[in-house]
């Protein structure tokens, strides 16, 4: 009698147990390897199609979560799928809750948050000589209307405030060039992607530890342009540079430069 072939889910569960030592070496001391693996298995129950995605990318995403010290439980982090031309890949994505946890542990920031703004919310953002100011009163008990943007706000230990506001046009532009525009941007993680877009932009201005910075950049593949988009952008830059050089060398410009004594 032939042995029954294992299902993809059973194969993954077996492989996860074989990876115990690797997970244990990567995980921080306060997270047991048993709890970590159980969390992954729960994620697979919630999203059964994870088992059908590229297996190598799945295991790699699990290792990234372990190295980052966040549980892929949908609160601290998540294992999300996105499509390429040839296959479905799994990517580790730190969630807003996980980033807040890392920030609290780092001790460098007093607080950090990201929120989506809707049309019927009471929202104002302005800059004066005292710095950046933001007020947001969500109309949580009524229809908030359509999304009009989002923001990230951080406060340092010395009470300095940093704010980054993104309009819907900017959010759509980020989504449009994203390698993962057919993955979490279109699914239940869309709001997380929007909020993280603001946090990623804000993080460039913040004092933070390498650990927190690495967590923010851990899911670069979900935000950075695809190879095709990068090639188009590079070509556009090259064409713009050629045009600039050609225009600068026209007789009219040469005459102007000679007249002004610049050459």
237-251 pLDDT, tens digit per residue, is 566 655 665 555 555
pLDDT at residue 203 is higher than 90: no
Poorest-pLDDT segment among 110-114, 119-123, 141-145: 110-114
pTM for the full predicted model: 0.72
Q: Who contacts 253 (Cβ-Cβ below 8 Å, separation ≥6)?
A: 247
Instruction: Work out whether the CA dihedral 234, 235, 236, 239 comes out positive or negative.
Output: positive
Q: What is the pLDDT of residue 240?
A: 60
Q: What is the pLDDT of residue 101?
A: 83
* Span 20-34, average pLDDT: 94
Quote the CA–CA distance of 231 and 243 in Å, as a whole number: 18
What is the overall mean pLDDT for the chain? Answer: 83
Q: 180 by DSSP, 3-state: which?
A: coil
Q: What is the pLDDT of residue 237?
A: 57
Please provide the size of the chain in residues: 263
- Which long-range CB contacts under 8 A does 239-243 form with residues at least 24 apart? none
Q: In b/e form, how buried is each residue of 181-209, taking b as 16+ CB within 10 angstroms?
A: bebbbeeebeebbbbbbbbbbbbeebebe
pLDDT at residue 72 is higher than 60: yes
* Span 30-36, average pLDDT: 95
Q: What is the pLDDT of residue 96?
A: 87
pLDDT at residue 262 is higher than 50: no
Half-sphere exposure in the Cβ direction for 186 (13 Å, CA):
10
Bigger pLDDT: 230 vs 20: 20
* Span 45-66, average pLDDT: 93
Find tokens 């690495």 and name the residue.
214
Q: What is the pLDDT of residue 253?
A: 57
């Amino acid at each position: 009698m032939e042995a029954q072939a294992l299902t993809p889910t059973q194969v993954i569960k077996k492989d996860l147990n074989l990876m115990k030592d690797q997970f244990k070496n990567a995980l921080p001391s306060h997270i047991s390897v048993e709890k970590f693996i159980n969390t992954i298995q729960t994620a697979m129950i919630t999203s059964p199609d994870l088992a059908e995605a590229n297996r190598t990318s799945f295991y790699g995403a699990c290792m990234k979560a372990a190295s980052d010290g966040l549980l892929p439980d949908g609160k601290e982090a998540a294992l999300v799928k996105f499509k390429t031309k040839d296959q479905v890949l799994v990517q580790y994505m730190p969630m807003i809750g996980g980033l807040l946890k890392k920030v609290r542990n780092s001790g460098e920031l007093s607080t950090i948050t990201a929120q989506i703004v809707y049309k019927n919310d009471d929202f104002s953002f302005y800059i004066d000589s005292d710095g950046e100011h933001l007020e947001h009163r969500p109309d949580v008990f009524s229809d908030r209307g359509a999304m009009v943007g989002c923001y990230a706000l951080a406060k340092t230990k010395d009470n300095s405030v940093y704010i980054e506001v993104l309009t819907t046009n900017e959010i759509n532009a980020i989504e449009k060039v994203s390698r993962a525009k057919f993955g979490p941007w279109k699914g239940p993680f869309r709001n997380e992607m929007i909020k993280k877009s603001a946090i990623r932009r804000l993080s460039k201005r913040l004092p933070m530890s390498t650990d927190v910075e690495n967590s923010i950049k851990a899911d670069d593949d979900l935000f950075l342009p695809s190879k095709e988009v990068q090639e188009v952008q590079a070509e556009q830059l090259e064409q713009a540079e050629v045009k600039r050089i050609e225009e600068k060398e026209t007789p009219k410009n040469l005459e102007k430069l000679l007249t002004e004594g610049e050459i």
